[in-house]
Chains A and B, each alone.
Chain A
């Protein structure tokens, strides 16, 4: 529920098993609550007032300890969520990054704690407090692949690598691989700039250009590996390494074998 990583300060809130247990228990309770509660409209992006109320309940259970009672944030634990918008919340919760299991240089992607409907409820609650970018609607599948590829290489490839495999940043941070990101999540990430990622507002990359980029990211997921093995898909360095270690190794073994036979 945040688009900001929490910087480790003084190590006061390092991995604490007690906190994790409490967090997991709270998560389970909220999941159970959601299963037990009567069904709602489901995945509609239009937030009903009811959604915001449910979202507040979830927030008070799982998020309040780091982001504060009024979303104002808690120093050295979690940033303010005022104005981050529903898109940021939906991104962080649907990718499982929030609730964060521990404070770290970067909060990793993991299986989500909340389901889609709960994520939308949390988003509706945060949106109702401070506003901000909305969750994108529609299929987001109307993209121009060629233009998207150009825009991706121009704006995204420096960190995420030209095939979306991600890469290292400073001090333990990294740009994550895009293999698991859905169309909506990629859109939300560009719109809100989660963690270290810069923001790409609608005047910088228009909604159409964002869809173009999504088309390219989707095409990367379906890319084949003609050699049979991807080797990380990060280019000639690992491929060369394999050729040298395996290929030259095999040649050496063959040479020794011929020598022994002679």
Chain B
């Protein structure tokens, strides 16, 4: 024990000082050295000390009131949302204020207790360099080997075998979720619910006639099959161009459209977002996620942004009852690119 505190008396003066000496002794054996130690209040019970105590107590009371307030607000304050003005809209803010007072008060009290009342102290812990000394190394290895020997697993073959089996089983359990990754997806990425004769319907299931849409309009349509409006790959935009729009129809797609009606996949070929921002003046489609733009007059070719493939076009016709139907499925895969896509 070196470095006596300058303010401390001889060991054994008071029980507190005995305690302090014991703490120092213990710390010194762990390589921790007190370099500075000074009680905040050498003479206990001064006005200054009582004031510091009151400050801590004040913040603890604030914490208490905040907690009680939170409880009372959550039980008694009207919370149901009404669109008219009333006390209800204060429900969430009041909960927040009470929680801030409660947790904040407790925090300030804890920090204040440490800074205003606890003695000032500075300690240094010496750290050893390099590897442990030879004695520690030998005894540590001996401890591990002794534990293995006393378990006697070599002699207890039954337990060892069962343990091996359990490790095998548990490993299987951990791997099971990954099995799905190894399943071949088949053709499902290339096909959608659209088929020849499947009607184009709105989200509420009503079919669409060519007279239903004005020039310069867009309508999101789904295949009229069970689950069609929730199929992730089926959403399609039916666009009616304004008169005079000069369309460059791609070779082989001469009969995909019905007059000025064109149907394109709504799923962006970049990251699969819904492309639905239709600018009827410039005949562009804009994807809100990454600002890819597609030129509707040119087979929805991407003209700006990260998308690199045109939106697939759905071949459409009008059936005997005068409603729009698909002629076939999409002739290429919809949505973002993937490895197997040709």
Residues of A within 8 A of B (CB): 4-5, 7, 154, 158-159, 167-171, 173, 175, 193, 195-201, 203-204, 219, 222, 224, 226-228, 258, 261-262
Q: A154-B203, A199-B215, A201-B214 are in contact. Are A170 and B279 (CB under 8 A)?
A: yes
CA distance A201 to B83 in the complex (A): 32
CA distance A226 to B79 in the complex (A): 13
Specify which of B89, B280, B282 is in contact with A226 (CB 8 Å cutoff).
B89
Specify which of A196, A201, A222 is in contact with B212 (CB 8 Å cutoff).
A201
Specify which of B85, B111, B211, B277 is in contact with A169 (CB 8 Å cutoff).
B277
| Pairwise interchain contact B215-A203, C-beta atoms closer than 8 A | no
CA distance A159 to B274 in the complex (A): 12
CA distance A204 to B278 in the complex (A): 16
Query: Is B293 at the interface (CB under 8 A from chain A)?
Result: yes
Specify which of A158, A173, A199, A227 is in contact with B214 (CB 8 Å cutoff).
A199
Closest to B96 in A: A227
Q: Can you report 14 residue pairs joining A to B where beta carbons are below 8 Å apart? A: A158-B277, A168-B291, A169-B277, A170-B286, A173-B279, A193-B280, A196-B282, A197-B280, A199-B214, A199-B216, A199-B217, A204-B219, A224-B85, A227-B93
CA distance A193 to B83 in the complex (A): 31
B308 / chain A contacts, CB cutoff of 8 Å: none
Specify which of B213, B216, B220, B281 is in contact with A203 (CB 8 Å cutoff).
B213
| Pairwise interchain contact A198-B304, C-beta atoms closer than 8 A | no
B212 / chain A contacts, CB cutoff of 8 Å: 201, 203-204
CA distance A170 to B85 in the complex (A): 40
Q: Tell me how far the C-beta of B338 lies from the nearest C-beta in chain A, rounded to whole angstroms.
A: 25
Query: Is B288 at the interface (CB under 8 A from chain A)?
Result: yes
Q: Tell me how far the C-beta of B118 lies from the nearest C-beta in chain A, rounded to whole angstroms.
A: 13
Specify which of A5, A168, A258 is in contact with B281 (CB 8 Å cutoff).
A5
Mostly, the B contact residues are mixed
A195 / chain B contacts, CB cutoff of 8 Å: 281
Q: A169-B286, A201-B217, A204-B219 are in contact. Are A196 and B280 (CB under 8 A)?
A: yes
CB neighbors of A among B218-251 (8 A): 218-220
Which of B85, B111, B212, B214 has the most A CB atoms < 10 Å from its CB? B214
| Pairwise interchain contact A198-B218, C-beta atoms closer than 8 A | yes
Which of A7, A168, A169 has the most B CB atoms < 10 Å from its CB? A169
| Pairwise interchain contact B214-A226, C-beta atoms closer than 8 A | no
Specify which of A158, A222, A224 is in contact with B274 (CB 8 Å cutoff).
A158
Mostly, the A contact residues are loop
Q: A158-B274, A170-B293, A193-B216 are in contact. Are A226 and B211 (CB under 8 A)?
A: no
Specify which of A198, A219, A224 is in contact with B216 (CB 8 Å cutoff).
A198
Given contacts A167-B288, A173-B279, A196-B279, 18 further A-B contacts (CB under 8 A): A154-B203, A159-B277, A168-B291, A169-B286, A170-B293, A196-B280, A197-B280, A198-B280, A199-B213, A199-B214, A200-B214, A201-B214, A201-B217, A203-B213, A204-B217, A204-B219, A222-B83, A226-B92
Residues of B within 8 A of A (CB): 83, 85, 89, 92-93, 111, 115, 203, 209, 211-220, 274, 276-282, 284, 286, 288, 291, 293, 304
CA distance A251 to B291 in the complex (A): 36
B280 / chain A contacts, CB cutoff of 8 Å: 193, 196-199
Q: A154-B203, A158-B288 are in contact. Are A170 and B282 (CB under 8 A)?
A: yes
CA distance A199 to B279 in the complex (A): 10
CA distance A170 to B292 in the complex (A): 9
| Pairwise interchain contact B211-A203, C-beta atoms closer than 8 A | yes
CA distance A191 to B63 in the complex (A): 59
CA distance A198 to B281 in the complex (A): 8
| Pairwise interchain contact A219-B83, C-beta atoms closer than 8 A | yes
Q: Tell me how far the C-beta of B321 lies from the nearest C-beta in chain A, rounded to whole angstroms.
A: 16
Closest to B293 in A: A170
Q: A203-B213, A219-B83, A224-B89 are in contact. Are A170 and B218 (CB under 8 A)?
A: no
B111 / chain A contacts, CB cutoff of 8 Å: 258
Closest to B84 in A: A222
A168 / chain B contacts, CB cutoff of 8 Å: 291
Q: Tell me how far the C-beta of A161 lies from the nearest C-beta in chain B, rounded to whole angstroms.
A: 10
A175 / chain B contacts, CB cutoff of 8 Å: 277
CA distance A159 to B115 in the complex (A): 56
CA distance A261 to B215 in the complex (A): 71
Q: Tell me how far the C-beta of A237 lies from the nearest C-beta in chain B, rounded to whole angstroms.
A: 13
B218 / chain A contacts, CB cutoff of 8 Å: 198
| Pairwise interchain contact B214-A196, C-beta atoms closer than 8 A | no
CA distance A196 to B283 in the complex (A): 9
| Pairwise interchain contact B89-A169, C-beta atoms closer than 8 A | no
Which of A159, A170, A227 has the most B CB atoms < 10 Å from its CB? A170
Specify which of B203, B214, B274, B279 is in contact with A204 (CB 8 Å cutoff).
B214
Closest to A225 in B: B89
Closest to A168 in B: B291
| Pairwise interchain contact A201-B213, C-beta atoms closer than 8 A | yes
B284 / chain A contacts, CB cutoff of 8 Å: 170
B93 / chain A contacts, CB cutoff of 8 Å: 226-228
The 9 closest A-B pairs by CB, nearest first: A201-B214, A203-B212, A196-B279, A199-B214, A158-B276, A199-B217, A198-B280, A199-B216, A198-B218
Q: Tell me how far the C-beta of B186 lies from the nearest C-beta in chain A, rounded to whole angstroms.
A: 32
